[in-house]
Amino acid sequence: MNLPAPEELCRRAEEALIRCGAEITDAGGPLVARTPITGTELRTVTASSTDDVDRAITAAHDAFLEWRTVPAPQRGAVVRRLGQLLTEHKTDLAELVTLEAGKIPSEAQGEVQEMIDICEFAVGLSRQLYGRTMASERPGHRLMETWHPLGVVGVISAFNFPVAVWSWNTAVALVCGDTVVWKPSDRTPLTAIACDALLARAARDVGAPAGIHALVQGAGDVGERLVDDARVALVSATGSVRMGRAVGPRVAARFGKCLLELGGNNAAVVAPSADLDLAVRGIVFSAAGTAGQRCTSLRRLIVHSSVADELVQRISSAYGQLKVGNPFDDGVLVGPLVNRSAFEAMQTALDKARADGGTVVCGGERSGGSDSAYYVSPALVRMPAQTSVVQEETFAPILYVLTYDDFDQAIALHNEVPQGLSSSIFTTDQREAERFLAPDGSDCGIANVNIGTSGAEIGGAFGGEKETGGGRESGSDAWKAYMRRATNTVNYSDRLPLAQGVEFT
């Protein structure tokens, strides 16, 4: 495998940042932006101090007091402009996503496309923040609800979707009248600088207050300041279950609102009637795409025993065709793991699977790279049972294969893990498909039929149940998490009847 020279990657990062209008300073650290392509440094970035975070929250809170009274359709203008700038700089931002997260350019551009899509969605939403009017039980009364801006939204995001998750939150929060302080992953600080520069420009272009968005950089300790600050009305945190366990109770302790988007352990059921050509394509993209580093990556396959051998053979041969390597190279479909600890976690999981009686059908080994870059061939592992390692999320391309004979058993296996993000079934049997989507079917926030577990559209609400955290972002009515609801009763009569017929005279 030929890896590019580290200096070339530094140059590409710098040029993309400049094109996005980011201010480039030689910060001197202590935060180091690295690329998983070579495992080398791209540049250093200043981490935010306690005072920096405090100033950012103060500015966002001050801006909120003004922003909340700007009519929502006018607030949409800044998001519309952001969408235009993202379209203009799609390749630049995608370049940074590839450099920092290691995604192949097509997936990186897809991530930026998601940002453009959510901006369009949010602009439309800015004219549709509807409340209901209910029938009052009292004569001469009107009962209704109104939705008001919530306050400062603290966005904490993960390395693997370094820009899309920010935009899902920010585009919707801004039209809802909130302001945003963003703490990106410390593994992707440069993409964050580029996004912040584009939004700052959008705000300038439409005359929106500069304080509607602030970026703070650093590791979990910087995120904790957002978590603990009572001025942050909503903490929207995306990352591991470990992070959610730390964040959720702390926000709850101060009665703040929390939106958690945590890990998944996503499965697909493959029934005897499945179109196997379609299933293999869906499975390979979901399991091996993004080197298994999506929250929605397919990690478990629950296959009817009558088709298991054939399916495993076909996936294994498709895996043999996958080109693993430098994501910038033509034809490469699987880029690097984010770092050494991701590689070690993968090896530990494979060892545990073997110890539990699993058989590695193919993959799992290092596939070239360098001392500091970790490329692996996606692993396919047949398991005799859903042992503890299968019940964990290992953030790497490992696909465990389990078999079933009875459909109820398939559903039970499917739901028998602590996480509940994405799921799918490959079947041409309508009864099975409908059962999978029914109340006693998949227990996940996302349940698909005849497509894989990854690659959601922005129009639906995104998120999952159980240890995935219960939050919903993006489309449908996910915007309601970013606003507060007021119930209003208006008496337009000259009498004062009490509810429930209570007499008080």
Q: Give the residue, chosen from 175, 181, 243, 267, that forms a contact with ligand NAD under the rule CB under 6 A.
A: 243
Site for ligand NAD in 104-123 (CB under 6 A): none
Nearest-angstrom CA–CA distance, 159 and 294: 10
Residue with tokens 């193919």: 362
Read off the tokens for 272: 């005897």
CB of 241 to ligand NAD, least distance (A): 7
Q: Give the residue, chosen from 224, 329, 356, 429, that forms a contact with ligand NAD under the rule CB under 6 A.
A: 224
**HSE-CB for 287 with a 13 A CA cutoff:** 28
Q: Pick the closer one to ligand NAD by CB: 252 or 496.
A: 252
If 0-12 CB within 10 Å is exposed, 13-18 middle and 19+ buried, where does residue 388 land?
exposed
Are the beta carbons of 382 and 359 closer than 8 angstroms?
yes
Residue with tokens 């192949």: 104
CB of 444 to ligand NAD, least distance (A): 11
Q: Pick the closer one to ligand NAD by CB: 326 or 419.
A: 419
Cα→Cα distances 486→73, 137, 201, 288, 500, Å: 20, 18, 34, 46, 21
How does DSSP assign 281-314, residue by residue? HHHHHHHHGGGG-STT-EEEEEEEHHHHHHHHHH
* Contact flag: residue 159 with ligand NAD (CB under 6 A): yes
Q: Pick the closer one to ligand NAD by CB: 240 or 347.
A: 240
Q: Pick the closer one to ligand NAD by CB: 247 or 411.
A: 247
Give phi and psi for 134, each to the nearest 5.
-105, 155
Nearest-angstrom CA–CA distance, 149 and 68: 6
* Contact flag: residue 347 with ligand NAD (CB under 6 A): no
* Contact flag: residue 362 with ligand NAD (CB under 6 A): no
Q: Considering Cα of 447, then 342, then 284, then 300, what sign does the dihedral take?
A: negative
Nearest-angstrom CA–CA distance, 377 and 393: 18
Site for ligand NAD in 161-180 (CB under 6 A): 161, 165
Contact range with ligand NAD by CB under 6 A, out of 64-72, 105-113, 196-204, 262-270: 262-270
Contact range with ligand NAD by CB under 6 A, out of 19-27, 42-50, 260-268, 366-374: 260-268
Q: Pick the closer one to ligand NAD by CB: 236 or 403.
A: 236
Site for ligand NAD in 398-457 (CB under 6 A): 421
Nearest-angstrom CA–CA distance, 361 and 94: 34
* Contact flag: residue 263 with ligand NAD (CB under 6 A): yes
Q: Give the residue, chosen from 37, 85, 153, 158, that forms a contact with ligand NAD under the rule CB under 6 A.
A: 158
* Contact flag: residue 265 with ligand NAD (CB under 6 A): no
Q: Pick the closer one to ligand NAD by CB: 177 or 445.
A: 445
Catalytic residue among 111, 261, 467, 473: 261
CA 328-332-333 angle, 5° bins: 115
| Per-residue interface string for the shown chain with ligand NAD, residues 468-497, x marking contact by CB under 6 A | x-----------------------------
Instruction: Report the Cα 223 to chain-centroid distance in Å.
Output: 17
Cα→Cα distances 264→76, 132, 408, 466, Å: 32, 34, 22, 10
CB of 296 to ligand NAD, least distance (A): 8
At 270, is the secondary structure helix, strand, or coil?
strand
Q: Pick the closer one to ligand NAD by CB: 157 or 286.
A: 157
Q: Pick the closer one to ligand NAD by CB: 53 or 311.
A: 53
Give phi and psi for 461, each to the nearest 5.
-75, 135
Nearest-angstrom CA–CA distance, 184 and 171: 16
CB of 389 to ligand NAD, least distance (A): 16
Nearest-angstrom CA–CA distance, 448 and 279: 12
* Contact flag: residue 238 with ligand NAD (CB under 6 A): yes
Binding-site size, ligand NAD (CB under 6 A): 30
CB of 342 to ligand NAD, least distance (A): 8
* Contact flag: residue 467 with ligand NAD (CB under 6 A): no
Selection from 343, 304, 326 nearest residue 432 by Cα: 304
Q: Pick the closer one to ligand NAD by CB: 43 or 299.
A: 299
CB of 220 to ligand NAD, least distance (A): 3
* Contact flag: residue 182 with ligand NAD (CB under 6 A): no
Regarding beta strands 465-466 and 419-420, do their DSSP bridges make them parallel or antiparallel, or are they unpaired? antiparallel
Selection from 395, 335, 366, 346 nearest residue 3 by Cα: 335
* Contact flag: residue 156 with ligand NAD (CB under 6 A): yes
CB of 162 to ligand NAD, least distance (A): 9
Nearest-angstrom CA–CA distance, 280 and 489: 56
Q: Pick the closer one to ligand NAD by CB: 195 or 262.
A: 262
Q: Give the residue, chosen from 38, 40, 185, 326, that forms a contact with ligand NAD under the rule CB under 6 A.
A: 185
Contact range with ligand NAD by CB under 6 A, out of 62-70, 110-118, 223-231, 402-410: 223-231
Q: Is 15 a catalytic residue?
A: no
Q: Which residues are tagged catalytic?
A: 261
Q: Rule CB under 6 A: which residues touch ligand NAD? A: 156-161, 165, 183, 185-186, 219-220, 223-224, 227, 238-240, 243, 246-247, 261-264, 295, 393, 395, 421, 468
